[in-house]
A and B are shown apart, each in its own frame.
Chain A
Amino acid sequence: MSDVSIRTRINGEEWTGAVEPRLLLSDFLRGNLGLTGTHVGCEHGVCGACTVRFDGDPVRACLMFAVQIDGHEIETVEGLSPAAGTDLRIADLHPIQRAFHETHGLQCGFCTPGILMTVASFLERNPKPSDREIREAISGHLCRCTGYHNIVAAVARAAELLTEVEA
């Protein structure tokens, strides 16, 4: 089948173009748009590495087709903090990213972008989560490096930082 035209917003920027219907959203973001911060670890919805936000909700980019974002908004890890120049400073990052840095919430960092997107939605819904709620919220992500201990700490810390920002 021929390509299908879509119009969408990605990290706040309008994008129009045509895509093959079977192109997975994850491949579209990475391959067509060069947004390679969204990672791919399983392509069957379990690992969570590809998680992005679709109209604000965390979704698996490997279980959607690019055609399906027509008329919708996508946010990827690249949209989380303002695009900095060559000199990336921790202080310029999103509070959630800063929290992961402070608490050593990442090791190889492959799972991290997906987790950040989930956490961004989760903390909007639940700004003061308990340890149990944090663990449940990130249970849809596999991390093979950290044992989750510091990820849980990072989410708790992010909740603090975000309330400070608001206060």
Chain B
Amino acid sequence: MKPDSIVSIRQLNYTFGQGKLKRNVLSDIELDLKSGEIAMIEGPSGSGKTTLLTLIGALRSLQNGSLKVFKKELLGASYDERVRVRRGIGYIFQAHNLLSFLTAKQNVWMSLQLHRELTKNEAENRAKSILSAVGLGDRLNDYPDSLSGGQKQRVAIARALVSRPQLVLADEPTASLDSKSGRDVVELMQQLAREFGSSILIVTHDARIVDIADRVLYLEDGRLTRDEKNHN
């Protein structure tokens, strides 16, 4: 594994189902993600992108191969170890998945709460400043149901990035947005990640946002078929 890798994958296979219904979803995956790198995974629906992301995010147990996140091997990792890895990752989902009974600020706070080294004041200030950074400084106390789709996704980005994670995983973050707000959201992600030095792995269909990435990977039928540097 390369010394500055945030994610390092070797010989990873993943199957769903058993016996006759057994299906290979990921085959022979090899991947290294450098610190601060912004990578994008493209590929047709059903090619295994989400499965790969959930494995990296320590949300699924590995079956074989090797997957290291923050230099921690996830094959055979315990529940506690997986929880610890999850805390170092910022997630952004296709559906914003904000807690409907919390305000924008409280939603962001939920992420900070996991990192106890912050005082209440620091946490409050961080939540406020990151919401201002995503352009929602005046919507701090609004509940998700009074925000537009783009605004909700921006709160979700603030939530994922407020604790300055080393790694951000985003699964089709623009899928439910129009092209303008989709573009805005991804640019925000890029800008904040650069500021905090986070690596980003974005799964997307959306060709309009590809130029943001340093690197574009193609996943076809469970195999990584292309890995290209983006020159722009």
A and B found bound together: no
